Amino acid sequence: MVLGSFAESLTRFRGALMAELVGQGYDVLACAPAADDATRQRLAALGVRYVDIAMQRTGLNPLADLGLLWRLAALLRRERPDVLFCYTIKPVVYGALAARLVGGIRVTPMITGLGYAFMGGGGRLQRWVSAAARALYRLALQRAHCVFFQNPDDLGEFRRLGLLPAQARIQQVPGSGVDTAEYAQMPVPAAPVFLLVARLVRDKGVYEYVEAARQVRLRYPAARFQIAGWIDENPTAIPEEALADWVSEGVIEFLGKLEDVRPALAACAVYVLPSYREGTPRSVLEAMAVGRAIITTDAPGCRETVVDQYNGVLVPVADAARLAQAMCSFIERPERVEEYARASRLLAEQRFDVRIVNRLIIQGMDLPC
């Protein structure tokens, strides 16, 4: 069983994994809340059976989460999967706890990033959320068979906090991978177009991206800055009014939520993700696969995607001035854009191809023959 908190992620991030499992002869059940018809059809085309589960993707509501635990336990008791593969915090925590209640299920969670609950410098609410998340992780992972991490920083943090059981196997994987055939290499346009694709929350570095765009446009008015994404249910979500103001100001072009990001990637010269922390950012992997120079932060998960001054530039977290400087460097030296684009494609093929990732995950699952 594959358990997620966002139905679209089943096909977007786990589709290739499930297709590989089906191809090897396994019965695969996918579970998430409120899949739309298109997602259900895509899962069916993969040969995957879908079961809906009511789940609040964000927030800590003890009564709602207790209900989720019992619903998951009932589902696992009915379906009796050999292996539960779960990702993101609520599926990992409550999926693993439900599997313990039922018994006889091998739990293989993936830590896809630590997010809001592990960000430093917050107020009382964030400290409470962080303490609760750590306690829940520690309890849930006690009997995990294999825990997958997407970067060494998250693994180190879990070890430092004592969240991992001594007996669990640990497997680091290069993110969710990217299908380098689906995301084929594309010519790099000559125009100075920068693109950010992300959930519109503070932690993705959206404010820094906009401020850097303002600074760059003072020197290079022809430079264009695009954002594709959506406003998320998150304490740090970007207000719609702020987004509208940026568009009215002319500092950014808002592309909305894209079902297929490849046309936007084809139209940009440089991909930018100024995130504060990631697991391994899928959007960067997609940009690398199509052959784009990358600007991202020297932060957990992000730094794994860029060899500084080889396929991109690493900048400090929350530093709009350094971000603007990196953007200007690509405008001033366009030959670097082409050079870094070729390097990105090579790294995507050698390190981040989805087939490499899926092989590691399936090995860690120890599936029955």
Per-residue pLDDT tens over the stretch 236-277: 899 999 999 999 999 999 999 999 999 999 999 999 999 999
Give me the mean pLDDT over the 85-100 stretch.
97
Give me the mean pLDDT over the 268-295 stretch.
98
Q: 206-219 vs 320-332: helix axis angle to the nearest 10?
A: 50
Residue 283 clears pLDDT 90, i.e. is over it: yes
Q: Hey, what are 73's tokens?
A: 């336990």
The answer as to whether 182 is a domain residue is: no
The answer as to whether 61 is a domain residue is: yes
Give me the mean pLDDT over the 8-24 stretch.
97
The answer as to whether 308 is a domain residue is: yes
Residue 121 clears pLDDT 90, i.e. is over it: no
Query: Both 15 and 44 in a single domain?
Result: yes
Query: Both 199 and 140 in a single domain?
Result: no
Query: Both 343 and 361 in a single domain?
Result: no
Which residue is associated with the tokens 């001054």?
309
Query: Both 137 and 152 in a single domain?
Result: yes
Q: Hey, what are 206's tokens?
A: 């959206």
The answer as to whether 184 is a domain residue is: no
The answer as to whether 185 is a domain residue is: no
Per-residue pLDDT tens over the stretch 178-232: 999 999 999 999 999 999 999 999 999 999 999 999 999 999 999 999 999 998 7
Query: Both 33 and 144 in a single domain?
Result: yes
Confidence grade of residue 120 (pLDDT, cut at 50, 70, 90): low
Query: Both 256 and 131 in a single domain?
Result: no
The answer as to whether 188 is a domain residue is: no
Query: Both 200 and 167 in a single domain?
Result: no
pTM for the full model? 0.94
Domain that holds residue 69: 2-177+354-365
Query: Both 224 and 120 in a single domain?
Result: no
Where does the chain show beta strands of DSSP type E? 2-3, 29-32, 49-52, 83-87, 106-111, 146-149, 169-172, 193-199, 224-230, 253-256, 270-273, 293-297, 312-315
- For residue 213, the SS3 value is helix
Give me the mean pLDDT over the 117-133 stretch.
75
DSSP 174: -
How many folded domains does the chain comprise?
A: 2
Per-residue pLDDT tens over the stretch 127-137: 888 888 899 99
The answer as to whether 336 is a domain residue is: yes
The answer as to whether 220 is a domain residue is: yes
Query: Both 29 and 133 in a single domain?
Result: yes
Query: Both 70 and 125 in a single domain?
Result: yes
Query: Both 10 and 133 in a single domain?
Result: yes
Confidence grade of residue 57 (pLDDT, cut at 50, 70, 90): confident
Residue 301, exposed/middle/buried by CB under 10 A (0-12, 13-18, 19+)?
A: buried
Report whether 98 contacts 73 (CB < 8 A).
yes
Whichever domain contains 234, its CATH number is 3.40.50.2000
Per-residue pLDDT tens over the stretch 299-335: 999 999 999 999 999 999 999 999 999 999 999 999 9
Query: Both 140 and 254 in a single domain?
Result: no
